[in-house]
Amino acid sequence: MFEGLKNRLKQIQGQLGSTIEASAQVPEGASASPESNKDRGKNSGARPEHAPEKSTNIISKVKVLITDREFVISEKDIEEPLFELEMGLLESDVALPVTEEIISHIRNDLTGSRRKFGESVDGIVVAALRDALLDVLGEGFDLVSYIREHDRPVKILFTGVNGTGKTTTVAKIGAYLKKNGFSVVIGAGDTFRAGAIEQIDVHATRLGIKVIQHQQGGDPSAVLFDAVQYANAHKIDVVLADTAGRFHNRANLMSQLEKIRRVMQPDLIVYVDEAVAGNDAVVRAFEFEKTVGADAVVLTKADMDSKGGAAISISHTIGKPLMFLGVGQGYDDIMPFSPRQLVDELLKEAA
């Protein structure tokens, strides 16, 4: 997953390390030990015991500088590899504002900082990359903790564009929640797409989850209202509401989604898109969040995405956390999103 981005980060890590090592070359004579300086003072006839106090202080400071040898990383030292990193991130479909944020974070972290000679250059660079990536990825979203901390039923409305795997994602999250001990009901709110009701019904039957459904072409708001009523009557923990895929610029469909939101009153609105869409997914998520709101994001087909731009960009761009990554076709192929786990994976070869 995200192999292209992982390889580019490894390459940049090597370039940054090389430039820092080059800037850290010890000037001639700087490696002399305090003892050798002291010996030279004796051989030259100097008598430090009679030296003024001010001179003694200067000698002490010089000893500290030589013993704790340090070097300072300048912006010029890392200018070229940072440019290469910027180009690499953009080529990996990382959004421009997010790329700029990462570059700025690394530049501020490294430039002007004092580093000890002998300190691991790999450690310096990987720490800077790690901090920059974690800064833009945010904290993620723990759905299990959220459900445990809120009144039941927790009502979750799924939105997104056509063909991104939203209905399958609803089924996967249903399976995930059942494994974590929650009871689930699914509302078949996609009454528009031919075969959508049958599709979610097949998934639910395999998983042993109840589905509330009306006929195709019916009012999705009525379906989801009934799903909530069923959950209240049967003390179900979670309502998962599927909806028809739609684009943010289709006024009639967005108006329908607004009606669904008013009727259902969801606790969470989850936007679903595919990781392989890259910047398109980021732009669409931004527009959906602005139009109908979003509390979290699920990215499908992450296992097919070598670039990783959407996963890196989407939380920072819309200010909402990633909840899950879809990583395959099976019901278990959904991964709760952990920023630290993702960064560990991206920097694994460079650590």
pLDDT of res. 4: 82
Residue-level pLDDT at 54: 46
Of 113 and 163, the structure prediction assigns the larger pLDDT to 163
Report whether pLDDT(48) > 60. Answer: no
Q: What is the pLDDT of residue 274?
A: 94
CATH number at residue 261: 3.40.50.300
pLDDT on residue 250: 67
Q: Cα torsion at 268, 169, 94, 142 (round to 10°)?
A: 50
Q: Are residues 302 and 281 in the same domain?
A: yes
Q: Which of 215, 214, 209 is nearest to 231 (CA)?
A: 209
207 and 130 together in one domain: no
pLDDT of amino acid 201: 94
Of 117, 137, 157, the one marking the end of a domain is 137
CA 160 to mean position of chain CA atoms: 19
Looking at the fold, whether 168 and 21 belong to one and the same domain comes out as no
Are both 211 and 318 inside the same structural domain? yes
Same domain, residue pair 303 and 168: yes
Q: In the listed set 83, 111, 137, which residue is the last one of a domain according to the structure?
A: 137
Q: Which has the higher per-residue pLDDT, 125 or 324?
A: 324
Condensed to tens digits (0 to 9), the pLDDT of residues 311-332 reads 999 999 999 999 999 999 999 9
CATH of the domain at 115: 1.20.120.140
What gap in Å lies between CA 177 and CA 180, rounded to an integer? 5
Domain count, the chain: 2
Residue 119 binned pLDDT confidence (cut-offs 50, 70, 90):
low
Residues constituting the chain: 351
Secondary structure percentages of the chain, helix, strand, coil, to 5: 55, 15, 30
- Domain residues for 238? 143-338
280 and 153 assigned to the same domain: yes
Question: Per DSSP, what are the bridge partners of residue 80?
Answer: none
145-203 residue pLDDT tens: 999 999 999 999 999 888 889 999 999 999 999 999 999 999 999 888 878 899 999 99
Of 106, 137, 168, the domain-final residue? 137
240, 196: one domain: yes
Q: State whether the Cα torsion 316-150-273-252 is positive or negative.
A: negative
Model pLDDT, residue 74: 73
pLDDT higher than 90, residue 29 = no
Closest-CA residue to 298 (of 141, 121, 149): 141
Rounded-to-integer distance, Cα 350 and Cα 5, Å: 12
Across the range 236-246, mean pLDDT stands at 92
| Residues 349/11, Cβ–Cβ less than 8 Å | no
